[in-house]
Every structure is written in C-alpha cells, then in structure tokens.
Amino acid sequence: MTPAQVSEVIVEQSMAALGANSALVALVNESKTELEIVRAVGYNQELVNTWRYFAIDSPSPLAEAVRTGQPIWAESTKNRIARYPNLAETYSKYDFEGWISIPLMVEGWAVGGISLGFAQSQQLSAEDQAFILAVAQQCAQAIARAHLYEAERTARSAAESANRIKDEFLAVLSHELRTPLNPILGWTKLMRTRKLDQATSDRALETIERNAKLQTQLIEDLLDVSRILQGKLNLNFCPINLISVIEAAIETVRLSAQAKSIEIQTIIECSLSPVLGDANRLQQVFWNILSNAIKFTPTGGQVKIKLQQVSSQVQICVTDTGKGIAPEFLPYVFDYFRQADGATTRKFGGLGLGLAIVRHLVELHGGTVQAQSLGEEQGATFTVRIPCLQDESKKIKDAKDNSSLVGQSLPLSGLDILVVDDDADMREFLPFMLEQYGATVTAVASAIEALTALSQSQPNLLISDIGMPEMDGYMLMRQVRSLQPEQGGTIPAIALTAYAAEIDYQQAIAAGFQQHISKPVDPEELVKAIALLDLLKQNKGVSRQNSA
C-alpha cells in the first residue's frame, strides 16, 4: 500500500477505535519542511484544500506536535482559539468540544501527524493516553513501511528502466557502428577485385570517407560522454564572438540541408557582447542542435536560427518545422542514451548522446539549454542562453591561428620525421601522407627499432603509436626522455594512437609526449600539430641563443 492508502485506513480505524467525529493525517515531505494532508474525514473540503500544504513551523497544533514530537492532548475549542488566535475563524466552523493532535513517531523522528476532533469533551486518563499513543505508534510504523515499499518500488522501476535503456542502447550502438562499416568494406572489396571507372571510383571513395567520418563522430561522442561522466572534459576558454561560431556550425550542416531542400533562415543581431568559452566546443553544441533539426525535418522544410542579446545573455534559438517531440518524451530529451524511438523500425539513426553532450557543454559555459515542442509533427525549438563576458579586463588573449600552415604547399619541408607503428598499413600511409607535405620520413615497426634509429641519426620529430608488443609507446617515450639531448632526449614527440580516452591523454603527456592525437587522424590536423611543434622548437632555440 502507498502512504496515502495507509493514511486512509488510519483515519477510518482511529475514528472507530477512539470514537472521534473527525480525523486527518498529514505527512512530512522529504525535506522535512512541510506537511501535506493526505486524508481527512469530517472536515470542510474547502478548508482541507486551503490547508493541503502547510509549513512544519507554522502556528498550528498539528505542526507543533510534529515539530516537537510531543502530543497535544484533549483541548476545548475555546482553549485552542486562545492559543492559536490565527485559527479562530477555522475553529468557529466546527461544533466540536475536544481536539487531540498526535505526532506519528518512528525511532525518534516524526513521519507525520494525526489530528482528531470530538463532539464531546474528552477527559483522558493515563491509560487512555497510553492507548492513543500505542495506536499512533502502529500508524507511524505502517506509514514508514509504506514509504520503504514505495521507495523500493520506485528504485526497482528505475533499475528496470535503466536496464531496458541499456539494452536498447547496446543494440543501437552495435547497429550504428556496424552500419558505416558495410559500405566501407563493400566498396573497398569492389575496388580491389574489380576495375571500376573513374566516376564509380570517385563515388566509392566519397562514400568510404563519409562513413568513416560518421563512425569517427560516433566514437568521439562516446569518448565525450566518458569524459563528462568522469568529470574530465577540459575546455579552453577565451573571449568569443558567437556569430562566427554559429556561421561555422551552419556551414558544417549546409550540404545536408541542401540535400533535403531545407531552407536555413538566419536572423543575427550584429552588436553582440562576447562570451567566455571554448569555440570548438560551442561549435559542437550548435552543430549538434542544427544536425538534429535537419535530420528530423522533412524534405522542403525550414530551420530558423535567431541569435540575439537578451539582457546579460546571448540567446540562440533554433526552430524547425520537423517531427517535433512528444510531450511524454520532452522531459528526457537531454538524458544520456535516451531516444524517443529506440525500436528496430525507427526512421532516424544515432546513439541518443548528442543532446546530452549539448546540455553538459552549455552548463560548463554557465548557460542553459531548453527544448520546446507543441507535440509530434509540430516542430521543435531549442534555446541556448550563454552569459556575456561583462568584464573586458578578464579577456584572455587568443592563441595564434596556425591553420594557414596547412595551406602552404610544403609546410613540412626540411623536416626529418621518425614514425613508429606496429601496423603495416599505418607505416605505409603515414610516410606517404607526410611526404606530400615535404617531410622526409623513416618508418619502423617497434620501439626497439625506434631506439636503434635514434642512435644512428637525429630526426626533427617522433610520431609513435601507443599499443605495441613488447615495448609500448609510453615505455619508448620514457626511454627516449632518459637520453642526453645530443642523443635525441629532447626530440619533440606526438602520440598517435587509438587509445583516445582522457586518461590516455594524461598518460601520454606524463610519459613525455608533447601532443596526443587520436586515430583516425585528419591529415591536416596532424600536419598542423607537427608544424606547431617545430615552430615551438625553433622559438626555444632562438631564446637560448639570445640568452647566451
């Protein structure tokens, strides 16, 4: 039975056992600040509704009994009015001669209280009082057991729901990770076994690249969730104009919108205050929201983005004319691993992580995100609010943008790079790719071979895998850092690995790597990282010469 059902039995049985003309039970809320009347008999319903909730420290007999843990024995209406003049009008509505207010105590704590009204004045002996307290004790224990049962039932329901969501998520995860592999492997096999014309080969490569990027994004989302749950998601804050962030996010999704003939309408207020944030992560926020809007909007629909300043916040509203959100799912739209449709018949893919990541990133920026929808097939609106940067003196200087390095024809010209990877395909791909940017590359298959190569020549940079047999990348890096500078002990180093969690990054830096880049790697990202490390090395050399 629920506490309310138990209270109903208590009221009826107490009135019968004690000969009362009215009775009510009020239970203490979880924060122990308020009482709620859960059952009342013999009282004016309008008054019961008025007093449905009342503070535990309010001037009333039942609140006093619950607050102090002491019963208030039989009192006449006249005496009660004298003690509680604020209740004079309430008591005047009842032709009762006696009142009793008893706390319902369990192990020294009040779970609620019971108030009884009698048509005749009550002269209670010590034996009568003991009997009433015994009844109250039984009532209190029954309510406590009902609370425990309700808590257990709620916990069991939550556990069953969590298990169901987990099973659905694992099924969806398997599906979403396997789906991009099918065209990748299929086209790869066709390209190896059949001679395709140039147009078909181009289409195959485009499909392979698109699906590889999709799978990479799925893995990045999973890693982001892992970092979030561990509290290890780091942000690089600096002053940002959100206009450029929004425009970059729009450009990212423009092609997918054009493919569905979806119009993207923008309303941007030009005079916006800057915000303090991580530009890449904020772009991820708006990319996720816009991608969702386009995914759930039918062909020929519209997505509207409105960017404006509202008081001390920058507000971004993304409104679509798409599928909308069912009212029963709206409270869970930002939960991890939750999707409105997790069935095998669902129309829309994804892991159900994007909006959960959005909420966490927005909150890390001190902002809020809300979802609104009138229901299914009526579109949805997502509103993000981020506080403006008020104190201009707190602005952090922007880091230099090194993206132009990649635009140079041979940005790695003159660099001698040592690559260490036990995977033969990587040993073939990396040298080929880096040589396109002007580098000279030596590739070896193990850490032992890398140490031998270092003893024979001094490359400008080391790129090493982490997971390798016999000696992994961490062990290799510690060995390298133990060497003298003239033996290569200070060589700049990048960890290029499929171990991409936050703890892997920390271990790589602790071992002596300057950078940690996860596989699969974007060639431009790797080239930019190499060029930046080389630039830093050159600057240090100049500094040493100047100080000498």
Q: Which residue in 162, 163, 168 sits closest to 341, CA to CA?
A: 168
Strand partners, 518: 497
The CATH number, out of the four listed (3.40.50.2300, 3.30.700.30, 3.40.33.10, 3.40.50.300), of the domain defined by the range 408-547: 3.40.50.2300
Residue 31 to residue 10: CA distance in whole angstroms: 24
Q: What is the pLDDT, as a whole number, of residue 545?
A: 43
**% helix / strand / coil in the chain, to the nearest 5?**
50, 20, 30
Q: Where in the chain is the domain with CATH 3.30.450.40?
A: 3-154
pLDDT digits (tens, 9 = 90+) for 146-165: 888 888 888 888 788 777 76
Rg (CA), the chain: 35
Longest dimension (CA), the chain: 108
Residue 153 to residue 139: CA distance in whole angstroms: 21
Is 291 in contact with 251 (CB distance < 8 Å)? no
pLDDT digits (tens, 9 = 90+) for 413-458: 889 999 999 988 889 889 988 998 889 999 999 999 999 999 999 9
What kind of architecture, by CATH, is found in domain 238-394? 2-Layer Sandwich (3.30)
Residues 6+ apart with CB under 8 A from 276: 237, 238, 239, 240, 365, 389, 394, 395, 396
Q: What is the pLDDT, as a whole number, of residue 338?
A: 59
**Ranges of the chain whose pLDDT falls below 70:** 165, 168-173, 175-176, 179, 221, 227-232, 336-352, 390-409, 538-548
Distances in whole angstroms, Cα of residue 366 to Cα of each of 235, 242, 245, 289, 430: 12, 15, 17, 18, 41
Classify residue 388 by its DSSP letter.
B
Q: Which CATH class for the 162-230 domain? A: mainly alpha
Is 22 in contact with 116 (CB distance < 8 Å)? yes
Tokens at residue 190, please?
């066709």
Q: Where in the chain is the domain with CATH 1.10.287.130?
A: 162-230
Is 496 in contact with 433 (CB distance < 8 Å)? no
Q: Which residue has the tokens 């869970």?
A: 332
Q: Where in the chain is the domain with CATH 3.30.565.10?
A: 238-394
Residue type, 543: S
Residues 6+ apart with CB under 8 A from 547: none
Is 26 in contact with 55 (CB distance < 8 Å)? no
Tokens at residue 10, please?
């208590």
Strand partners, 369: 384
Q: Where in the chain is the domain with CATH 3.40.50.2300?
A: 408-547
Q: What is the pLDDT, as a whole number, of residue 266?
A: 93
Classify residue 400 by its DSSP letter.
P
CB atoms within 10 A of CB 44: 12
Q: What is the pLDDT, as a whole number, of residue 405?
A: 43
CB atoms within 10 A of CB 392: 9
Q: What is the pLDDT, as a whole number, of residue 548?
A: 43
Residue 268, phi then psi, degrees to nearest 5: -120, 125
Residue type, 281: R
Residue 431 to residue 426: CA distance in whole angstroms: 8
Tokens at residue 219, please?
């893995």
Q: What is the 3-state secondary structure (H, E, C) of 270-313?
A: CCCCCEEECHHHHHHHHHHHHHHHHHCCCCCCEEEEEEEEECCE
Q: What is the pLDDT, as a whole number, of residue 396?
A: 37
Tokens at residue 35, please?
């009482």
Q: What is the pLDDT, as a whole number, of residue 541?
A: 53
| CATH numeric code, 3-154 | 3.30.450.40
For 276, half-sphere exposure in the C-beta direction (CA atoms, 13 angstrom radius) is: 14
For 194, half-sphere exposure in the C-beta direction (CA atoms, 13 angstrom radius) is: 11
